[in-house]
A and B are shown apart, each in its own frame.
Chain A
Amino acid sequence: MTRTRKPVDAVVVGVGLVGSIVAKALVDAGLSVVGLERGPARDIVPDFQAPDAHDELKYSVRKNLMVDAAKETFTFRNRPGQTALPMRRLEMFLPGSGVGGSTVHWNGVVFRFQESDFVLRSHLRDRYGPNFVDPALGIADWGVTYADLEPHYDRFERLYGVCGKTGNLAGVRQPGGNPLEAPRSREYPNPPMKELYAGRLFRNAAESLGYHPFVGASCNLTRAYTNPLGLTLQPCVYCGFCERYACEQFAKASPLTTILPVLRANRRFELRAQAQVLRVNVDRDGRRATGVTYVDAAGRETFQPASLVIVAAYAVNNVRLLLLSGIGTPYDSRTDTGTVGRNYAFQTISAATVFYDQSVRINPFMASGATGTYIDDFSGENFDHGPHGFVGGGFIGPLLTGGRPIEFRPVPPGTPRWGREWKAAVARHYNHTVNILCHGSSMPVRTNCLDLDPSYRDAWGQPLLRVTYDFPDNDLKMSRFITAKAMEIAQRMGGQRVGGGPRSGPAMATQYQSTHNTGGTIMGDDPKRAVVNRYLQSWDVPNVFVIGASNFVHNGSYTPTGTVGALAYWAAEALTGRYLKQPGALVTA
């Protein structure tokens, strides 16, 4: 027996980065909003204070902030035709669960995408000619431009207090920043983090090769900062417990520190935690959402009527919710038709590792989740792909995030995997090793897609999302190219030896790369391919907006969070500025 709650103007599914921004915009516009979060309510105080906050076994190994895979998980296979198996422990990527979402446990690394990313198909055609792009790649223009999103990137960066130094202020080069970044209308709101010693070693080597190293932008704060909502973030102490942890110092930007205290104080907003959304309810002709059905903390199935539904869950869970709700046409990779589940992409991570003698002390434990020095010379369209035969790239550089003792055990190739020699090697190399990250892009292909698993179900009896993914040839080529550049720099960093190598297939569900899942509800001007229009409004059900990294048409060379924040503000503006004035389709197909 489903109970029905009092109708509200809007329901937001997922109270994370996107949900909090959009809900705030809607309550400010006068709407009554219910936020449904599958995970628990929590806050910096008292839930995330040390010593418990720094329990590596609890948070890194047992993944306390992540969704409980015993209740809800994903199945995985490399290609259609295989039988997918469930991920019984999350390893490949780590979606958070709980108020604040995955941004509570993120690193804090933040980038903008390139201007070319949003018009990638047109850009590649114009730059390299009509026959350059492998037709197997599902590259398309996004339906928005960088110029459209720039003010929204800016708003997000003010909200989160991003710390960095621009190298491109409205097209004018600035010393000390990344000269290759997309033009910014304003300087970052806060100065960049300190450069680690590993970063300095990398910088020197990269400069000797003519590259352009810079300290990456961070959402771990470098000074006290009061954001436009009047909430104050505090400075980071470089304790090295960021990713997979919440920050006890109020120093990491997340919904908990930047927006929720204000949102929750608004009486038009109601937060319901431990609310597992089962589906978006749609009326008989499938053109209008009537609300959402969820299971509340007491296990009661509940219908929440609403005039507007915002799907703002973790990227690929947006896809799953649409599939479970029958909104949009499921993508069929055999025929390349349908929309929901199309253009799933991930990240193509590789590394070069420099092993030093014991005179070089790296002190990897002094770090934040975003203390990196990078080069952007081989990201996206920052270099000429003409001779190389692939699309995409990646930023390169050491991103040391804490050297935590259980998980950080670099040893040179050839070291035994266990036993006395392994232990000796761990002790020998712990403080004398630098990992250089190659953060590679991920291009969509037909066979990488998302759908509902035919066999496995979650604790609520609903089919799991099936992830079908392997590295496209394009991305493996890209990885070989950028990893070779990283190895070249690594050779100049003064170590005794260099290890590492490019990414190779097959993709494995047991190997962590990043939590940067993208696509599946892509945005675009063509309703036959895209799930949402340029305002992130469902092409099929106009009172449903789907927002997040699931809108990405491909995954760029960067971390996705900045672009997700920009898209959230972009959609919020369309909602309050256009949709609420005249509810209905904002774009005519």
Chain B
Amino acid sequence: MSPGGWPTLALAGAVLALALGPAEAQTAGPPPAADVARGATIVAGSVSGLPACASCHGEAGDGRAAEGVPRLAGQSAYYLAKQLRDYRSGARGHALKAQQVAAMTEQDMADVAAHYEQLRAPYPPAPARGAAALARGQALARFGSRSPEVSACDSCHGPQGQGFAPAIPFLAGQHATYIAAQLRRWRSGERRNDEAEVMRMIGERLRPQDIEAVSAYYARQRPLTLTERP
């Protein structure tokens, strides 16, 4: 059983399905075996020709709240590698990132992703927010909304945004600036690397104040431990 008391196999289902789609899951070859230490070397900027991820995402992988640079420490390696591939292919459109990852091989991506997955970084205090906004954020996260019609974020992202590895990223403790920016990108269609347009549809429905509220709520959540229950 996983931390929230959920059956592990069931989680795997929701997650893989979103990322791959049933038929492709079988045909995709095994991912390259990852070298965590090499990943750390790349991140630190010690491999010539490859980007020094740490220069923006921080040595600890905790990102930068003010600039909306996401926390990567502890994020699923599968998810991170997919994002890198999507930057490279253009599926996740971002001019700067596309340039940065252009030289990365599949192996580089796997190594970097594996490095970040096992990193642990401290959490800065979340910025103060009004109680009403946090309550609205929590309601959206846990129960969704009938109008606009949005299912609970936790339905896929896990209790209190813990994430469902491999395919679904955590939101707990992610910078509100980053979450909000991504929701706006889903909304505008700038980001479109989701399966079946699920996130784009959610982005379209959320009102600007909902985006702020739910981002603030998740930024204040933390990973659950084995003794905690949502």
Task: Identify the A interface with B (CB < 8 A).
Answer: 43-46, 49-51, 53-54, 56, 194-197, 200, 222-224, 232, 234-241, 248-250, 361, 363, 365-367, 371, 402-406, 430
The answer to whether B6 touches A51 (Cβ under 8 A) is: yes
Given A50-B156, A197-B23, A240-B17: A222 and B196 interface contact (C-beta under 8 Å): yes
Closest 6 CB pairs of A and B: A365-B13, A238-B17, A50-B155, A235-B196, A49-B152, A46-B143
Question: Contacts of B9 on A, CB cut-off 8 Å?
Answer: 365, 403-405, 430
The answer to whether B151 touches A248 (Cβ under 8 A) is: yes
Question: Contacts of A222 on B, CB cut-off 8 Å?
Answer: 196
The answer to whether B155 touches A366 (Cβ under 8 A) is: no
Question: Contacts of A366 on B, CB cut-off 8 Å?
Answer: 13, 16-17, 20, 22, 25
Question: Contacts of A365 on B, CB cut-off 8 Å?
Answer: 9-10, 12-14, 16-17
The answer, among B10, B12, B22, for a CB contact under 8 Å with A197, is: B22
The answer to whether B22 touches A239 (Cβ under 8 A) is: no
Q: How far is the CA of A91 from the CA of B64 in the complex (A)?
A: 55
Question: Contacts of A248 on B, CB cut-off 8 Å?
Answer: 144, 151-152, 155
The answer to whether A237 touches B22 (Cβ under 8 A) is: no
Q: Nearest CB to that of B158 among chain A residues?
A: A51
Question: Contacts of B156 on A, CB cut-off 8 Å?
Answer: 50, 237
Given A45-B145, A234-B198: A239 and B26 interface contact (C-beta under 8 Å): no
Q: Nearest CB to that of A237 among chain B residues?
A: B18
The answer to whether A194 touches B198 (Cβ under 8 A) is: no
Shortest CB-to-CB span from A269 to chain B, Å, is 18
Does B106 sit at the interface, judged by CB under 8 A? Answer: no
Question: Contacts of A367 on B, CB cut-off 8 Å?
Answer: 13, 17, 22
Does B125 sit at the interface, judged by CB under 8 A? Answer: no
Does B197 sit at the interface, judged by CB under 8 A? Answer: yes
The answer to whether A54 touches B17 (Cβ under 8 A) is: no
The answer to whether B10 touches A240 (Cβ under 8 A) is: yes
Shortest CB-to-CB span from B156 to chain A, Å, is 7
Interface size class of B (residues with CB under 8 A): 35 or more
The answer, among A44, A56, A361, for a CB contact under 8 Å with B26, is: A361
The answer to whether B22 touches A371 (Cβ under 8 A) is: yes
The answer, among A46, A195, A200, A404, for a CB contact under 8 Å with B10, is: A404
Given contacts A237-B196, A249-B155, A365-B17, 9 further A-B contacts (CB under 8 A): A45-B152, A49-B142, A49-B144, A51-B158, A54-B10, A200-B26, A234-B198, A238-B21, A405-B10
Shortest CB-to-CB span from A239 to chain B, Å, is 4
The answer to whether B22 touches A194 (Cβ under 8 A) is: yes
Given A44-B146, A239-B13: A196 and B201 interface contact (C-beta under 8 Å): no
Question: Contacts of A363 on B, CB cut-off 8 Å?
Answer: 13, 16, 22, 25-26
Q: Counting chain A CB atoms within 10 Å of each CB, which of B142, B155, B156, B158 scores highest? A: B155
Q: How far is the CA of A508 from the CA of B195 in the complex (A)?
A: 43
Question: Contacts of A200 on B, CB cut-off 8 Å?
Answer: 23, 26
Shortest CB-to-CB span from B224 to chain A, Å, is 12
The answer to whether B23 touches A195 (Cβ under 8 A) is: yes
Q: How far is the CA of A239 from the CA of B150 in the complex (A)?
A: 17
Shortest CB-to-CB span from B134 to chain A, Å, is 18
- Kindly supply a per-residue 1/0 record for chain B positions 172-196, scoring 1 wherever the CB is within 8 Å of any chain A CB and 0 otherwise: 0000000000000000000000011
Does B230 sit at the interface, judged by CB under 8 A? Answer: yes
Q: How far is the CA of A361 from the CA of B22 in the complex (A)?
A: 11
Q: How far is the CA of A562 from the CA of B62 in the complex (A)?
A: 52
Question: Contacts of A232 on B, CB cut-off 8 Å?
Answer: 149
Does B29 sit at the interface, judged by CB under 8 A? Answer: no
The answer, among A49, A194, A196, A223, for a CB contact under 8 Å with B155, is: A49
